[in-house]
């Protein structure tokens, strides 16, 4: 058995990021950018009005509120207008500021009188309602770091720079193989001793949430030849995720089948609870993850071992789950020898264990929104501050 830390270190070291591809911004949501990007256009790009109103010289408008209107500046074109003291230019939101104007008086504070406008406030300062060029973003400023995820606002920022396409990490193509003679597809009839297959849909959802592409999903009986066939097909993809059959029972045939098809097994059995029988290997370009079949073990080992690797493959810089520092609702003791991922509910910054904690307890898992990693033999008092991993 090897430690959890060593396992993650080894598998991350074995998986380089794949080569990047260029995609249109519209296809780049949730992808990971492959290079640092810097601003080439300031934001705002030019001084412009934040309001519909009148562009003025603040000092002159304070002294004499009656100003002569000498032009109109709409948004979308620059009429290269200019004005002097005692004058105003009708202006609209987003329109370029006329030369000489240093403030905008909003329309609601004015009264039009033919060719004149009466400013009804004395509170006019230089810079009022003017959006200054470069105030938000200056040319040369870094706008995104290599490995950042492209979020909706980031995509908008790239578009505002006139960028049409962006270089991102390739999406990982994931194959999922569930195994087990006792398992029946939902919708079919159960016979005595059988249960419905439920890990497949969970893994597909977890893989989708990690921004990967599901390219194969199959259930396979605990039959050596069938398993060899399924694993041959699954290992044509970037990652093959196998559920069940990696433990030490007679019907746990995954390791033998992997050897038969020429895959290398780099590590097997990890000191972690749940998830001890976890396996990692490769065949050609494909990384292989064997996850124990108990639903909670499948879920936890996916999140702590598989997800980081998939994200790294796709060029992500941050591959860990989001974390939060919270208070413990009651005391907790760790496992004797293995780090234990305890499922709990995080509410109002307090973490409380929820549901049964055995590795088959799927209902308990559905009630959890956070995981607490408790070190071997660790004792945590009620009220102590802990860091938890956030599940959604």
Output 97 or 257, the one with its CB closest to ligand AMP: 257
Give DSSP secondary structure letters for 257-303.
Answer: HHHHTT-EEEEE-EE-BS-TT-EEEEETTEEEEEE-SSHHHHHHHII
Q: Tell me the sheet residues that pair with 24.
A: 165
- Show the site string, 196-215: x = touches ligand AMP by CB under 6 A, - = not: -xxxx---------------
294 near ligand AMP (CB under 6 A): yes
292 near ligand AMP (CB under 6 A): yes
47 near ligand AMP (CB under 6 A): no
- Show the site string, 242-281: x = touches ligand AMP by CB under 6 A, - = not: -xxx-x-x--x-----------------------------
How many helices and strands, by DSSP H and E, does the chain display?
Answer: 9, 29
The total of other beta-carbon atoms located within 10 Å of residue 291's CB is 28
Output 154 or 297, the one with its CB closest to ligand AMP: 297
180 near Mg ion (CB under 5 A): yes
Output 249 or 322, the one with its CB closest to Mg ion: 249
Output 244 or 344, the one with its CB closest to Mg ion: 244
**Can you tell me which of 98, 244, 277, 334 binds Mg ion, judged by CB under 5 A?**
244
In angstroms, the Cα distances linking 253 to 195, 260, 327, 349, 354 are 20, 11, 43, 44, 34
Output the smallest distance, CB 184 to ligand AMP, in A.
10
Output the smallest distance, CB 2 to Mg ion, in A.
23
- Show the site string, 154-193: x = touches ligand AMP by CB under 6 A, - = not: ------------------------x-x-xx----------
Q: How far apart are the first and last CA of the chain?
A: 30
Residues 6+ apart with CB under 8 A from 171: 31, 211, 212, 213, 314
CA gap 125, 384 in Å, rounded:
52
Binding stretches for ligand AMP (CB under 6 A): 178, 180, 182-183, 195, 197-200, 243-245, 247, 249, 252, 292-295
Enumerate binding residues for Mg ion (CB under 5 A).
180, 244-245, 293
């Amino acid at each position: 058995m090897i430690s959890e830390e060593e396992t993650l270190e080894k598998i991350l070291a074995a998986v380089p990021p794949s080569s990047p591809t260029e995609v249109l911004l519209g296809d780049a949501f949730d992808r990971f950018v492959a290079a640092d990007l810097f601003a080439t256009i300031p934001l705002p790009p030019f001084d412009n009005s934040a309001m519909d109103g009148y562009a003025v010289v603040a000092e002159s408008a304070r002294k004499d509120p009656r100003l002569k209107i000498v032009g109109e500046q709409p948004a979308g074109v620059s009429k290269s207008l200019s004005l002097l003291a005692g004058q105003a230019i009708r202006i609209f939101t987003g329109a370029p500021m006329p030369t000489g104007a240093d403030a905008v008086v909003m329309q609601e504070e004015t009264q039009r009188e033919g060719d004149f406008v009466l400013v009804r406030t004395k509170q006019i300062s230089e810079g009022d309602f003017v959006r200054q060029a470069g105030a938000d973003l200056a040319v040369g400023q870094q706008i995104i770091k290599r490995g950042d995820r492209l979020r909706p606002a980031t995509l908008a920022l790239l578009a505002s720079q006139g960028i049409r396409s962006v270089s991102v990490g390739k999406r990982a193509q994931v194959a999922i193989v569930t195994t087990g003679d006792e398992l029946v597809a939902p919708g079919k009839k159960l016979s005595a001793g059988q249960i419905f297959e439920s890990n497949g849909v969970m893994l597909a959802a977890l893989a989708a949430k990690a921004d990967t592409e599901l390219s194969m999903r199959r259930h396979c009986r605990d039959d050596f030849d069938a398993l060899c066939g399924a694993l041959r097909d699954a290992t044509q993809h970037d990652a093959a995720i196998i559920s069940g059959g990696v433990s030490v029972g007679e019907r746990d045939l995954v390791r033998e089948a992997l050897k038969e098809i020429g895959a290398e097994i780099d590590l097997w059995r990890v000191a972690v609870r749940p998830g001890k029988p976890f396996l990692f290997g490769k065949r050609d370009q494909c990384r292989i993850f064997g996850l124990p079949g108990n639903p909670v073990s499948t879920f936890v080992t996916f999140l702590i071992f598989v997800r980081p690797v998939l994200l790294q493959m796709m060029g992500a810089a941050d591959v860990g789950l989001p974390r939060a520092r919270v208070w413990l609702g009651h005391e907790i003791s760790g496992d004797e020898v293995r780090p234990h991922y305890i499922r709990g509910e995080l509410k109002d910054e307090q973490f409380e264990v929820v549901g049964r904690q055995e590795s088959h307890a799927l209902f308990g898992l559905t009630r959890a929104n956070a995981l607490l990693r408790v070190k071997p033999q660790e004792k945590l008092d009620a009220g102590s501050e802990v860091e938890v991993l956030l599940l959604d």
